[in-house]
Structure 1
């Protein structure tokens, strides 16, 4: 881990396409760049995107909705409207249906361990 205070700007880090043309992320704080044990990203989804989100068994994450929104449906049928100001904890293993709204979605993501 770094022993100094560091800054990072979205404009200064690579845009990584997670799903080409649909979902991209800017990994602002990472182990590789700052030596951090966790990572912090800004992830953007284009409007009206739907997919099944599945945990990778390695990373636990916190999602924080900054702009836009989505609907998340859990396997037990619970539905949550994810909107600005909402935070969501994801354990290492999870599954949910994710439907991004017509305004798209921008969220802050913290992952442990770092991606």
Structure 2
């Protein structure tokens, strides 16, 4: 697909990708496959109370932007950040942190390079 044209996308027009069934799902709105983009842009939702160890895959750099709800992100050195609406976080290819989603769940915009 050519990257020399403007392209639109809506959540209703893309499949829901179940990352963790019943817990985490994503709508990949802009992708290499769909629009020819070198990066991807998603809206991802995670259920309230979910906790896990987040780790980079060595390939993707990402930016997360909190739209609704929130979570606590704890780095291996003990640094704690409350991820709330309006916050953005850059994740390098290699990273790790403990991720605990709050009682309102978490909805975030995610951009990754290369495209997922």
TM-score when normalising by structure 2: 0.98
Q: Which consecutive residues of structure 2, in runs of 5 or more, have no partner in the other structure?
A: none
Q: Which residue of 2 aligns with 1:72?
A: 73
Scaled by the length of structure 1, the TM-score of the pair is 0.99
Equivalent-residue separation in structure 2 for 1:77 and 1:50 (angstroms): 16
Pairwise CA distance, 1:47: 0.5
State the SS of the aligned residue for 1:3. coil
SS at match of 2:44: strand
The answer for the alignment partner of 1:33 in structure 2 is 34
What residue in structure 2 maps to residue 60 of structure 1?
Answer: 61
- Per-residue CA shift, 1:19-68, capped at 9, x if unaligned? 01000000000000000000000000011000000000000000000000
Structure 1: unaligned runs, 5 residues or longer: none
Which of structure 1's runs of 4+ aligned residues deviate more than 2 A?
none
The count of residues paired between Structure 1 and Structure 2 equals: 115
Secondary structure in 1 aligned to 2:26? strand
Q: SS at 1:53's partner residue? A: strand
Aligned to 1:5: 6
RMSD: 0.6
What secondary structure is seen at the aligned counterpart in 1 of 2:33?
helix
2:87 equivalent to 1:86: yes
